Amino acid sequence: MIDRLAILGATGDLSARFLLPALAALRAAGHTGDALRVTGASREDWDTGRYRAWAAERLDRHGGALPAGAGEAVVSALDYRRADVTDPADVAAVVAGEGPVAVYLALPPALFPAAVTALHAAGLPEGSRIVLEKPFGEDLAGARELNRLLAELLPERAVFRVDHFLAMTTVQNVLGSRLANRVLEPLWNSTHIAEVDITWDETLALEGRAGYYDRVGALKDMVQNHLLQLLCLVAMEPPLTLGERDLRDRKVDVLRSVRPLTEHDVVHRTRRARYLPGRIGDRDVPAYAEEEGVDPARGTETFAEVELELDSWRWAGTRFRLRSGKALGADRKEVAVHFRPVPHLPFGPGGKSHGGKGPGGKGPGGEARPNVLRFELEPEGLALDLTGIGAHAHELVPLSLTARMEPQDLPAYGRLLLDVLNGDPALSIRGDEAEEAWRVLEPVLAAWERGLVPLDEYPAGSQGPPPHWW
């Protein structure tokens, strides 16, 4: 295990909300000890004492129910250096020391190329690793250039392009439920599954993140990475193992099978919108364009929806809908697998079996709805919507089987950091995978840039923009 971690951008929101609590969780669980040292680097003209005070306050705010001793141990392991992350001399001072170091780029994606170039000029000890947050580049050309720079710095196995969704137990359960249950895998294909909805709707609005979000938007922030990763887990062929090569090869196969979107497809199969003023719960939310730090002229979307099809033996004829929106009326974070309806219902008038069926496939007291398997991501759960007989003979009623999952032992960022320190890249994004994800959405970005898809609007607190009917 590597016992040195350097965080470039150590005073930002990512460090405060996720990395510091993750380090405390690793310490509380016994995965790290006194040997781990963490060097934070940022532009603020601070010393180590001030940085430790800042970190202690952020751990109190975001550390949840972690033992106080774990947070104190993390704070005591912190050092701080003021640094320009694009300056090789400054970066060299941050990573200096004996033995390999894991360098976490907690930076805006636009700074990745310059920071990687500075690391290359500064030099890294043998066995070092680098960690990058999504999005990996800002478009396909940017992803390719970033991959080229990373390849000059370190071998691919030492590059961790992390997506914390992959470390969520409920996300991994998509694959676990498929492969560990004989009842599901034989049905896991287009013969039985009509469509899959991958949704991340949240009541959270901008919440002071304009500096990042207004330059990215919902498509790049959520769909291009998190939701495409969920698509891969739903649609991939069963891997031989969950090792880095087998798992990532199968994910790349899915991305390569996504049917390229034409301009006509983008116009008819994608939506984008941003929120207007509204009320969510007990709080008033201003229009996105009026949020502090937002440039309305950018036309940044806070809602994005894309419908994809896969050209593969297993999935030809199944639609995959990826959707994410902010400032909506309710949180809905799930993967919903919609099975096709049954081909025949024996319930006829009066509940007697006969050779036909009533209008719409209805029985005398209800309707057989298509089954839906829901992987609920937040809160964690699993639900299966079925149809059965109710209190009256031959009356069809909806049934739901539900299960709640035990909370995972480590937060998602704790699992990712542990993998980085241990050198296990299975849950990170490989370079070719990052490029394929951009390839899928390049036509959408190009068409939206040209205004071929209108920027709709929806009131904050609503269900989002009304669906288009084509």
Q: What angle do CA 196, 168, 190 make, to 5 degrees?
A: 20
Q: Does 344 participate in catalysis according to the annotation?
A: no
From the list 62, 120, 192, 226, the catalytic residue is 226
CA 141 to chain centre: 22
Residues labelled as active-site residues: 226
